[in-house]
Amino acid sequence: MIVVEDFTKLADGAPVPSDGRVSICPRCGRNGVRRERLDGSVRYVHVQTSQVIGDGLRSEVADCCTMTATESRAV
């Protein structure tokens, strides 16, 4: 079973289990979940798909905005 999570439909500040809270993306103005990446960049995930498979849960980003470390510090 595949589940589509559309964070743009959730209110700013809404809690998302294991992902934190929904916030406004500074790049496009839509709601999303902010995720820090290992290289220092920041990704605002707007839509993701999740699927339960034999050895766990697989999640893939379907729509997001990514900002470099420099861009994310300027916001």
- The answer to whether the pTM exceeds 0.85 is yes
pLDDT in tens, 32-67: 999 999 998 999 999 999 998 888 889 999 999 999
Per-chain mean pLDDT for the chain:
92
Quickly state the pLDDT bin for 69 (edges 50, 70, 90). confident
CA atoms of 73 and 1, how far apart (whole Å): 38
Q: Are 15 and 23 in contact (CB under 8 A)?
A: no
Domain assignments of the chain as residue spans, ordered by start: 2-74
Burial bucket for residue 11 (CB in 10 Å: 0-12, 13-18, 19+) = exposed
